Each structure stands twice: as structure tokens, then as C-alpha cells.
Amino acid sequence: MSSVSIVIVLASSLGILAVMAIVALVRTEPALDDGDAGPRSDAILDKVRQIELVTRRLVNDSLAGQYHAVFKGRGMSFDSVREYQPGDDIRSIDWNVTARSGGVFVKQYVEERELTVLLMVDLSASGEFGTVGRSKREHAAEIAAVLAFSAIKNNDRVGLIGFTDRIEQYIPPKKGRSHVLRVILELLDFQPQGRGTRIDVACDYLTRIARKRAVVFFISDFIGDGYESALAIAARRHDVVPVVISDPAEQRIANIGLAELEDAETGELMAFDAGSAKQRERGRQRALVAAARRDHIFRRHGLERIDAAIGADYLAGLVSYFRRRAARS
């Protein structure tokens, strides 16, 4: 017999929303040893290919046009001149060319399409939780893939910042399919050193390394505290889009009776009576209060979140967000 962790959301002794693990005795497959590194890598690569097939289809069918309508680039740049035609804006006349040629010519401009897109992805231990067929980390990887393929389809550069209670990895922005596949592979296979969550640390790092304005998809469950000021600075310098990853069980604690709980990020143990309706409701209310506090921070700094709950149609959420943004632009 070996043990497995099932994660639910409760309040910690500090009053902060925490992810706790119920340790139950069940039969599981033995852990892989060093000799199994090859098959494990093959499994990860298969997962990467599967995510690519799914997400590229979603981008081609539903998202590419929506993404382009919202993220239009930095402005317009000069392209060429052509002869004046009735109805052209006289302000676009190129007087230098007109004087040299003897005819009337107007300037033509093209959109500067290329943007820098940064995926800020939470790799903390709370991402190991999942009750609807996948973990929050796997869910985050798929959503990141959708956004990355949307970006490269529009000739944008994509980079990755992975964080826990520290910066775990940084992949500088580049273009191309092979680069996006590397980003997906890292999200699925990277083993972080930290287990906690420091959103403020991630925001401070973003502010230091991204000198030019970027589109930042901040993919996290936002279980944490003390990050508002750092997030506010990042939001003033960049186009920050919070993508909130969640699991249905985080607000609906199951009736599993008396259990020993372990905080997935700190390792702290505690007893919890999940058989008590009052205790379950108390845990649900704390989760709701924490979510309301998070949303208040977003609104105060002009950030509109994208909800991406496991088991829900996240594509509909992305399309809805892009349409609202496009309507306001």
C-alpha cells in the first residue's frame, strides 16, 4: 500500500487561503526510478504533441482573429508611397516625393504587428491539485499553449517566466513553432525548487527584465497575499491579463469525514472534520472571501481577469474576453 494526495482548499492558521492535501491509503503504481527516465520523457513528449494538436486547432478555428483584433501591435510604420487618388486624406501627401516627381503622392503605412508576449506561469505546489481529470498545472500548460500559438500565428514573440516563491525559469521571447513547443515542454516537465507562491517576486522580476511594454498573460490560481503593490507597478508598465486557474473542489469541499491535512506548499499538518457541514461551509466562505479580495485588487488596478476553471470551457472564456477588449478599443 502507498499513499496519494488529494487536494482541497481550506484556511491556514495564518488566515490565508491555502491548499491542503488529504493523505489517503490507496493502491498506486510504484514511483519511477532513474532507469525509467526514458519512458517518462516519451510520455511527456506525447503530452506535448497532444497539446499542440488540440491547441493549434482551437487557435485556427476560433481564436486567431480575436487575438489579432485585441493585440494590434505598437502602431503604424511607413511602408511606401503611391499616387494620390480622389478621397485620399491630404494630410498623407508626401510633399518631398511630390516636389521631385511632378505628380502628387501619398504615404502608405502598415501596422507594426510584432509584439512581445510573456507567459507568467505559477509553478507552485498548489498546481499539483486537480479533481477533474487533470492538475491545475497541466490545465495552465494547455491554456499557455493556446495563447502562445495565437501569438506566433500573428508573428509575435513569446517568452516564459515560471515562478514559485522564487523565479524558477526564464525563456526569452522568440518566434516559431519549435520555440513554443519548448515552452510547453518546460511547463509540463520542469521540476521547480520552490513550493510556495510569491506573486510579488514574479512581478518584480517582470518589471526588471521587460524594459519595453509587453502583453503579459499571468496564469496562476492567485493563492497568495502581499502582491498588490508589485502587481500595480507591473500593470502600469505592461498589458497584464490575469488568467485565474481553479478547480471546482476548491469551493466545494467533499464530505470525506475526519481527515489529516497537509498544506501542499508548506508541509504543515492539521486535522479537519470534513464530515461537518458547518466546517465545510466555513471553508467555502473563506475561499469566497479570498476570491473577492483578489478580484478587488484586479479591479482597483484596471485588470480584467479570464476565468479558467478545470472542467469548464476555457475557450469560451478567452473568446469572450477578446471580444470585450476589441469592443472597447
CATH of the domain at 317: 3.40.50.410
Q: Does residue 274 form part of some domain?
A: no
Per the rule left: phi > 0, alpha: psi between -120 and 50, beta: everything else, 281 is: alpha
Q: What is the pLDDT along the chain (329 residues), one digit of tens a residue?
A: 333 333 333 333 333 333 343 333 222 233 333 343 344 467 777 878 888 888 887 887 777 677 767 776 555 556 688 898 888 888 889 998 888 888 998 987 655 557 899 999 999 999 998 888 899 999 999 999 999 999 988 889 999 999 999 999 999 999 999 999 999 999 989 999 999 999 999 999 999 999 899 999 999 999 889 999 999 999 999 999 999 999 988 877 777 777 777 777 877 887 878 788 888 888 888 889 999 999 999 999 999 999 999 999 998 899 899 888 888 86
Q: Does residue 86 form part of some domain?
A: yes
Q: Does residue 265 form part of some domain?
A: no
Domain tally, the chain: 2
> Which pTM value belongs to this model?
0.74
Domain that residue 308 falls in: 41-71+113-248+288-328
Separation between Cα atoms, residue 199 and residue 297, nearest integer Å: 13
Q: Using an 8 Å Cβ cutoff, are 165 and 226 in contact?
A: no
Give the pLDDT confidence score for residue 46 in this predicted structure: 85
Whether residue 119 is found in the same domain as residue 104? no
Give the pLDDT confidence score for residue 166 in this predicted structure: 97
Q: Does residue 4 form part of some domain?
A: no
Whether residue 301 is found in the same domain as residue 196? yes
Whether residue 176 is found in the same domain as residue 208? yes
Whether residue 172 is found in the same domain as residue 244? yes
Give the pLDDT confidence score for residue 79 in this predicted structure: 66
Give the pLDDT confidence score for residue 129 in this predicted structure: 86
Q: Does residue 174 form part of some domain?
A: yes
Whether residue 202 is found in the same domain as residue 108? no
Whether residue 224 is found in the same domain as residue 299? yes
Whether residue 303 is found in the same domain as residue 184? yes
Whether residue 230 is found in the same domain as residue 181? yes
> What are the respective helix, strand and coil percentages of the chain, to the nearest 5?
45, 25, 30
Whether residue 89 is found in the same domain as residue 133? no
Q: Does residue 12 form part of some domain?
A: no
DSSP-derived letter for residue 60 is: I
Whether residue 93 is found in the same domain as residue 195? no
Whether residue 84 is found in the same domain as residue 222? no
φ/ψ (deg, to 5) at 113: -75, -35
